[in-house]
Amino acid sequence: MSHAALQAAWWQRLEKLHQRAEGASGLACAARCTARCCPHAAMATQPPAYTVSHVMIMLPFEMDYILAKTALDPARLRKISVEIAPGLVHEIGFANVATPCPFLTADFRCGAYRFRPLDCRSFPLTPVFGMDGALDFRLTTTCPSLDTFAHAYQEQLKTVWRDLLPHLSMAYREVYNQL
Ligand code: SF4
Ligand code: SF4
């Protein structure tokens, strides 16, 4: 499949999965930690109870998709090259505690909320890929909203990730685990 055809297929997939990964999460983010799971340098000055670190890793072509929907300067996102399909290397966007997400606003809101990555929609549920590429999940126990995180929403997210698995290369799964 050509690069253009692969991108078109991924954008179509992203449109659908972003719709599916919405719902009543039960998370009380603004009330409990004002979205401090989003990487931000200011976290270092917050009390320990609030220093929840969210590493956000985008799906193949998700960075291109979100950048097309927002006005963000592409240079502001961190990127890593990954073989997303046989012989096709593409840049994946990511952010971690050392590199604040450029979509995070000064008042700790997501500036790309409508188009935010699946990884952000899933947190504190996080996919884990085994050595054989198998998909499992874990909950980030430092999230202060874990007690209200809706079980039905978690199951909904797991289904989205499971449906996505055949489209994620082994190289992507390895990079996801490592970042
Ligand atoms: S998901 Fe949890 S850690 Fe992240 S902003 Fe919401 S309450 Fe905070
Ligand atoms: S895209 Fe939005 S929700 Fe995701 S890490 Fe950035 S600011 Fe947070």
Say how many Å lie between the CA of residue 93 and the centre of ligand 1.
21
Say whether pLDDT at 52 is over 60: no
Say how many Å lie between the CA of residue 63 and the centre of ligand 2.
12
Rounded Cα distance, 155 and 158, in Å: 5
The pLDDT of residue 48 is 44
Identify the weakest region by mean pLDDT among 7-11, 40-44, 120-124, 130-134: 40-44
Pocket test of ligand 2: the residue of 78, 99, 104, 118 to mutate, having most ligand atoms within 8 Å of its CB, is 104
Say whether pLDDT at 155 is over 90: yes
Torsion, Cα 158 23 63 7, to 10 degrees, reads: 70
Supply φ then ψ for residue 78, to 5 degrees.
Answer: -80, 145
- Looking at all shown ligands, the one closest to residue 63's CA atom is 2
- The arithmetic mean of pLDDT across residues 99-120, rounded, is 83
The pLDDT of residue 125 is 94
Q: Whose CA is nearest to atom 3 of ligand 1?
A: 143
Token code pair at residue 87: 């012989």
Within its chain, how far is the Cα of 107 from the centroid? Answer: 20
The answer to whether the Cα torsion of 152, 54, 58, 113 is positive or negative is positive
Identify the weakest region by mean pLDDT among 10-14, 44-48, 94-98, 131-135: 44-48
The pLDDT of residue 54 is 64
* CA distances (Å), origin 69, targets 101, 105, 137: 16, 17, 29
The pLDDT of residue 168 is 97
Report the percent of the chain where pLDDT is more than 90.
Answer: 55
Task: Give the tens place of pLDDT for each residue, 60-104.
Answer: 999 999 999 998 888 888 899 999 999 999 999 998 766 668 887
Rounded Cα distance, 119 and 172, in Å: 14
Count of H helices and E strands in the chain? Answer: 6, 5
Tokens 């956000």 belong to 56
Q: Whose CA is nearest to atom 5 of ligand 1?
A: 35
The pLDDT of residue 115 is 92
Question: Where are the alpha helices (H) located in 33-98, listed in sequence order?
Answer: 62-69
User: What atom in ligand 2 is closest to the CA of residue 54?
Assistant: 5
Mean pLDDT of the chain: 86
- The arithmetic mean of pLDDT across residues 29-46, rounded, is 59
- Residue ranges around ligand 1 (CB below 6 Å): 27, 29, 32-33, 35-37, 52, 123-124, 143-145
